[in-house]
Amino acid sequence: MRKAIIPFGVVLLASCSTPPKTVTEFRAAMLGGAAFSKQETHNINREFSVVVSDVKRKSTECLNFGYTRTTRYGVNMSQTTDIYHPRVSVVGNSKAEMTMQIERLPKSTSAPEGGYYVFLADIQKTGADKSRMTMYGSSFPTWQAIFDAIKGWAEGKNVKCPDSP
């Protein structure tokens, strides 16, 4: 498991009170202009199924990571582990979603299965050899490498695995 320093605030992108628990809630929050969020749209000159296959293969290889944090409060100490889960789902003949969730251990009773959503890429077929990808996630600079890598994989480029944000 790779170690990294990731602000947990990225989980709270969409709201100060309730982070999104579903893909639909996450997309709505991003489209609604959630704090510290950004959106990128790219037209990809590749066939939809190839784009989805490459994004799935590389995100599974590169974006399964986590880290453990130890916090001290005087003489007391606590430890949490954050694990990132990338997933790609085909949701129709011409649409797929690539998501990343962060699961915190020990697990909160209110957390959704797999953790809170922190990233989404909507991939759509727009023509015979054309696709469009819209990515939603954190505007923190440490996340730009994730955006760039996923875009590169969708374009068929041999982009190395990004450092964790």
Confidence of residue 163 (pLDDT cuts 50, 70, 90): confident
- Has residue 161 been placed in a domain? no
* Structure confidence at residue 96 (pLDDT): 98
| CA angle, residues 20, 110, 74, in degrees to nearest 5 | 105
How many domains does the chain divide into? 1
* Structure confidence at residue 2 (pLDDT): 46
Mean pLDDT, the chain, rounded, equals 87
- Has residue 145 been placed in a domain? yes
- Has residue 165 been placed in a domain? no
Q: Mean pLDDT, to the nearest integer, of 8-23?
A: 59
Domain encompassing residue 74: 8-154
- Has residue 159 been placed in a domain? no
**Peptide bond preceding 106: is omega within 30 degrees of 0, i.e. cis?**
yes
pLDDT tens, position by position, 77-110: 999 999 999 999 999 889 999 999 999 888 888 8
- Has residue 71 been placed in a domain? yes
pLDDT tens, position by position, 24-57: 999 998 888 888 889 999 999 999 999 999 999 9
- Has residue 94 been placed in a domain? yes
In Å, how far are 6, 24, 86, 111 from 158, measured between CA atoms?
26, 31, 19, 35
Confidence of residue 122 (pLDDT cuts 50, 70, 90): very high
* Structure confidence at residue 35 (pLDDT): 85
- Has residue 103 been placed in a domain? yes
- Has residue 74 been placed in a domain? yes
